[in-house]
Amino acid sequence: MTDGPKTGRAQAPMTAGSTRPAILHGPVTPTLLRLALPTVVVLVVQTMVGVAETYFISFLGTEALAGVTLVFPVLMLMQMMSNGGIGGGVSAAVARAIGAGRRADAESLLWHAVVIAVMFGVLFSAAAFLFGPLLYHALGGRDATLNAALTYSGLVFAGSIPIWITALLSSALRGAGNASVPAIVIVSGTAMLLALSPLLIFGWGSFPGLGVAGGGIAVVIYYVLAALALALYLRSPKSPLRLRTTPLEGRLFKDILGVGLPSAVGTIQVNLTVTLVTAAVGHHGADAIAGYGIASRLDYLQIPIIFGLGTAIVTMVGTNIGANQAVRARRVAIVGGAIAFGITQIIGIAAAAFPNAWMQLFSDDPHVAEMGALYLRTVAPTYGAVGLGLALYFASQGARRVVLPVLAGTVRLVIAGLFGWAAVLWFGSGLATLFQIVALAALAYGALTVAAVIWSRMFHRGHSSSIASPSSR
């Protein structure tokens, strides 16, 4: 018994690797976890490297740590937009093309992704250089803290183009069902970064320490090498997709950006929320910023896990939608959401129960630890709602219906970002009230995303979001 009727396309279904039969017909949970595991491992490793870099920079003092914390929301905006936003559009488009049997389109989408990566990389570099000083000052950066922020930001965002290329090439491979190669490339690179970062920050022998600048330079070197390695693989005969120049077509840009741009708006909302909350925290001083920055790093621990799971959800939902198996796509969304909720809720309960175990890894300042522990006790219990919402958001990318889940993110922005910011600046609320508002916003986001998926009926039988190639129209 199949999950839905299979449409007769002009082209026979293509084989993009051994994962395609399992994606369309295998047991959902093992297939989902098998696809997700390489990316989850990669992103957890990357997150740990980010944590390690925070640890290294903490030895430079509170001002340096606070400066890097100010840059972190903007850097995460770019990384989330390139991986989960536009990258999600790339993965979903490639998966739908594979599910519908459109090999030529799947490979053309790869070149279109490179063009998009260059465009967005240039945009982020220019924006960081032009508006970074104003932004970091508005977020509370002053004197040594502001100087550290500008130094780190200037170097990291100089490497925006390789960051975008790495993200979109990895997304295309994951959409084709190959998560192993991006995993190998990124894990190898993070091992190098873990060794290079402290060397550049603190120096070694006659090599001088570069301080905060060393951390930024290490990040750029890592992404340049990762982008090069992925490009070389995609030019090799072993790749399921071949990277080559193709004529640019509006319908293929539409297939990527039709999902990618609304999803990018969603990532902007997430990071604008973080930025506004950071700005509100900044009114309580550098210790509060440092404490919040350390604690909120744990928030981002759930994002790599859910993003890894989410890339598998995008691939499975997109491939099944392309093959007109909407019932199976819905099953994937339900199973993925349940797994995401369970993982993130366990993290949240542990963090709320033992907040000092996390805080003491990075600071022995009791005031900094107190600020961070307050955040974790208040917000961490709502991690499950965020995990569930993010998983269903990824499912909506695969189904090419992301507008309502993005609107759920808008509500979260209004509650946490705007109401929280206003509570502190206009009504003089303390950090406890601010963090309670952030927790309320997380619960609202999870509930509204579930409602959005149900309301949109995105997985009703017969739904197909594939854009037909010229030969099959």
| Integer Cα distance of 393 and 405 in angstroms | 6
Pick from 47-51, 60-64, 293-297, 363-367: least confident: 47-51
What pLDDT, on the 0 to 100 scale, is given for residue 445? 94
The least confident of 171-185, 259-273, 324-338, 425-439 is 259-273
What number of H helices and E strands is found in the chain?
18, 2
461: pLDDT strictly greater than 70: no
C-alpha span between 185 and 196 (Å, rounded):
16
Q: Which residues contact 200 (CB under 8 A, 6 or more apart)?
A: 209, 210, 213, 214, 215, 217, 218
- On whether residue 11 sits in a domain, the answer given is no
320 vs 362 pLDDT, higher one: 320
Average confidence (pLDDT) over 404-417: 90
> Is residue 117 very low, low, confident or very high in pLDDT (cuts 50, 70, 90)?
very high
Alpha helices in 180-325 (DSSP H): 180-202, 212-234, 250-282, 286-322
In three-state secondary structure terms, 17 is: coil
| Model pLDDT, residue 456 | 67
* pTM summary value: 0.72
- Residue 103 in tokens: 């090999």
CA atoms within 13 A on the CB side of 73: 23
Backbone angles phi, psi at 337, to 5 degrees: -65, -40
- Residue 428's CB: how many other CB atoms inside 10 A? 9
356 domain residue, yes or no: yes
pLDDT of residue 349: 95
What is the average pLDDT across 355-382?
86
Q: Confidence class of residue 46 from pLDDT cuts 50, 70 and 90?
A: low
Say yes or no to pLDDT of 4 above 50. Answer: no
First-to-last alpha carbon distance for the chain, in angstroms, is 29
Inside any domain, residue 4: no
* Mean pLDDT, residues 47-71: 78
Distance between CA atoms of 379 and 437, rounded to whole angstroms?
9
Closest by alpha carbon to 252, among 51, 84, 357, 112? Answer: 112
Q: Which range has the worst mean pLDDT, 40-54, 129-143, 307-321? A: 40-54
Q: What mean pLDDT is predicted for residues 100-126? A: 91
Inside any domain, residue 473:
no
In a domain, 454, yes or no: yes
For residues 139 and 275, is the Cβ–Cβ distance under 8 A? yes
Q: How many domains does the chain have?
A: 1
pLDDT of 251-289, one tens digit each? 999 989 988 888 888 777 877 787 788 888 888 777 788
Structural contact between residues 33 and 329, judged by C-beta atoms closer than 8 angstroms:
no
pLDDT score of 17 more than 90: no
pLDDT of residue 227: 93
237 class by beta-carbon count within 10 Å (0-12 exposed, 13-18 middle, 19+ buried): exposed
Domain that residue 334 falls in = 25-466
Per-residue model confidence (pLDDT) at position 16: 43
Whether residue 236 is contained in a domain is answered as yes
What value does the mean pLDDT take over residues 314-329? Answer: 85
User: How many Å apart are CA 241 and CA 171, to the nearest integer?
Assistant: 12
Judge whether residue 12 has pLDDT over 50: no
* 167/305 Cα distance (integer angstroms): 16
pLDDT band at 219 (very low <50, low <70, confident <90, very high): confident
CA-closest candidate to residue 182, choices 237, 234, 220: 234
User: Nearest CA to 78 among 189, 149, 166?
Assistant: 166
Has residue 328 got a pLDDT over 50? yes
In a domain, 7, yes or no: no
For residue range 130-173, list pLDDT tens digits in order: 988 888 888 777 778 888 888 888 898 988 999 999 999 998 99
